[in-house]
Amino acid sequence: MDEITLRRLIHQNPELAFEERNTQKLIVEFVRGLGVNNILTLGTGVLVFLERSEHDPYVIVRAEMDALPIREETDYPFRASNGKMHACGHDFHIAAVCWALRRILEEDKRGNYLFVFQPAEESGAGARKIVEHILRWDCDVKAAIAMHVTDEYPVGVVASRPGTLFSASCEVNVRVEGQSAHVAQHRLGRDALKGAVLFLSRVYTWDWKDDLVWFGKLVAGQIRNVVASEAMIEGTVRASESERLHGVIEVLQSFAREVEDETGLRVSVNPAIVYPEVMIDENLLSVLRRVCKENGIGFVECERKLTAEDFGYFSGHFRTLMFWFGVRQKPSIEGLHSPRFLPADELIPVAGNLLVHLLDSMREARV
C-alpha cells in the first residue's frame, strides 16, 4: 500500500474523535509494511519510533487522525458516504507524514524520530494524553513538528511566524434556566430565551480587543406559545494566550450574573477543555525558512490565527514548529471545515518531501 492509497482509504472511511480504530489499523498496516515494528498503540493513536542514532535527541512529527461530522460535497472518487468527512485535511497529513517516514527508511537517514498519529484533535484534546505519555517515557526531545494544509495559501507557499501562531481556545456552553408559562400568562413565567438574548447582546457589544468570543448555536423552548423554561447557547473563545482566555471567561461569568440580577433567571457559563496556544520557536522557524529557500518553496510570515489546535499541548513541554502548507489550486477558497475542502492527492509527495528535508536539516541544526 502506498501513501496515496492510504489517504484514499482513510478519506473514504472518516472517523470522529476517539473512534479512529480503522484509521489506526490502516496506519499500523502501512508502517509494518515498511518493516518497522517499534509501534505503540495508545488508545486509538499510533506512535512509531525510529531509533537510528544512539546519542541523538528525538524529533517528533505529528499528524492528526480524526474527521468531522460534516457530509462531503466533493466529486472525489473516494469521497466519504457515512455523513462524516476529513474536511480539515487530517487524512492528507497522515499520508504526508507516512511519505516522510518511508523516505527516511529508504535513504537510511540518521537521527531519532518519533512519528505521532494523534486522535481527537478536533474535539477531546487528544494531544494531551499523547504528550503525557511521551513525558513519562522521559526521552530527550529536540523539537516537535507539525504542519497543516490550507487553501488560504496557494500551492508552493508555506506560512508561519515566531511566537503564537494559533490562538488559545476554549468551547463554552451557557445554560439559562427559567420557568415556563403560557404566553397569554407570560408574567407567571421567567423567559430563558429572553435571558439568552440579553446575554448575547452583552457579548456582541463588548470590545474584546484582539480576542474572539462567538456563539454559533442557540436552542431554547419546546413550543411557540409557551415561555421557554431553558435555553442553551454554544460557542467558542479564542485568545492570544491561555491566561487571557481565563480572563475572557471571567467577563462572560460577570455577564451571566448581571442577567441573573435583572431577570431572576439562573445563568451558568460552563467552559470545556482549554486548547493552549501553539508557540513557534524562532530557531526552529529559521530552519524551516532555510529549507523552503533551498527547495524552491515560498515562505511568508503570517499573522496570528484565530484557529485553534491542540498541538499547543506539545508547545507546553517541547520546542515546537508548526506551519501552514498551501494547497490552493484554483482562484476560489473553500476554507477549512468546508464540505468541499479537498487537498489534491498529487500534493502529498510535495508535502512529504518538505518534511523529509526539514527533518534532515533539524537533525543537523544547532538549535
In the predicted model, is pLDDT for residue 290 greater than 90?
A: yes
Q: Examine the fold and report which residue of 215, 239, 274 is the final residue of a domain before the chain moves on.
A: 274
Whether 50 and 146 map to the same domain: the answer is yes
Whether 148 and 190 map to the same domain: the answer is no
Cα distance between residue 333 and residue 309, in whole Å: 21
Per-residue pLDDT averaged across 52-75, rounded? Answer: 94
Task: Record the cell numbers describing residue 224, joined without a space.
Answer: 411557540
Whether 115 and 214 map to the same domain: the answer is no
Helix (H, G, I), strand (E, B) or coil at 321: strand
pLDDT in tens, 218-271: 999 999 999 999 999 999 999 989 999 999 999 999 999 999 999 999 999 999
Return the CATH number at 200. 3.30.70.360
Q: Mean pLDDT for the chain?
A: 96
Helix (H, G, I), strand (E, B) or coil at 47: strand
In the predicted model, is pLDDT for residue 139 greater than 90?
A: no
Per-residue pLDDT averaged across 193-198, rounded? Answer: 98
Q: What is the pLDDT of residue 205?
A: 97
Residue recorded with cell 520557536: 281
Q: What is the pLDDT of residue 361?
A: 92
Q: Examine the fold and report which residue of 274, 305, 325 is the final residue of a domain before the chain moves on.
A: 274
Enclosing domain of residue 223: 168-274
In the predicted model, is pLDDT for residue 365 greater than 80?
A: no
pLDDT in tens, 180-192: 999 999 999 999 9
Q: What is the pLDDT of residue 163?
A: 96
H-assigned helices in the chain: 3-12, 21-33, 90-106, 126-137, 192-205, 242-263, 282-294, 312-315, 348-364
Q: What is the pLDDT of residue 231?
A: 98
Cα distance between residue 295 and residue 340, in whole Å: 30
> How many structural domains comprise the chain?
2
Cα distance between residue 118 and residue 169, in whole Å: 19
In the predicted model, is pLDDT for residue 366 greater than 80?
A: no
Q: What is the pLDDT of residue 27?
A: 98
Residue 22 burial (CB < 10 Å; 0-12/13-18/19+)?
Answer: middle
Contact between 186 and 351 under an 8 Å Cβ cutoff? The reply is no
Whether 255 and 117 map to the same domain: the answer is no
Q: What is the pLDDT of residue 349?
A: 98
Q: What is the pLDDT of residue 208?
A: 94
Contact between 322 and 166 under an 8 Å Cβ cutoff? The reply is yes
In the predicted model, is pLDDT for residue 68 greater than 90?
A: yes
Whether 27 and 124 map to the same domain: the answer is yes
Whether 232 and 285 map to the same domain: the answer is no
Count of other CB atoms within 10 angstroms of residue 225: 9
Contact between 364 and 110 under an 8 Å Cβ cutoff? The reply is no
Provide DSSP, 113-175: EEEEEES-SSSS-HHHHHHHHHHHHT--EEEEEEEEEEEEEETTEEEE-SEEEE-EEEEEEEE
Return the CATH number at 281. 3.40.630.10
Contact between 72 and 339 under an 8 Å Cβ cutoff? The reply is yes
Task: Record the cell numbers describing residue 261, joined without a space.
Answer: 440580577
Q: What is the pLDDT of residue 103?
A: 97
Hey, CA dihedral for 91, 336, 311, 361, is it positive or negative? positive
Q: What is the pLDDT confidence band of residue 137, given thresholds at 50, 70 and 90?
A: confident
Q: Examine the fold and report which residue of 230, 248, 274 is the final residue of a domain before the chain moves on.
A: 274
Whether 147 and 284 map to the same domain: the answer is yes
Q: What is the pLDDT confidence band of residue 22, given thresholds at 50, 70 and 90?
A: very high
pTM tops 0.85, yes or no: yes
Whether 158 and 204 map to the same domain: the answer is no
Helix (H, G, I), strand (E, B) or coil at 245: helix
Whether 66 and 99 map to the same domain: the answer is yes
The DSSP bridge partners found for residue 233 are 174, 218
pLDDT in tens, 102-130: 999 999 999 999 999 999 999 889 999 99
Whether 20 and 133 map to the same domain: the answer is yes
Cα distance between residue 94 and residue 340, in whole Å: 19
Q: What is the pLDDT of residue 133?
A: 95
Q: What is the pLDDT confidence band of residue 363, given thresholds at 50, 70 and 90?
A: confident
Whether 269 and 289 map to the same domain: the answer is no
Cα angle for residues 324, 328, 332 (degrees, 5° grid):
125
Task: Record the cell numbers describing residue 271, joined without a space.
Answer: 467552559
In the predicted model, is pLDDT for residue 138 greater than 90?
A: no
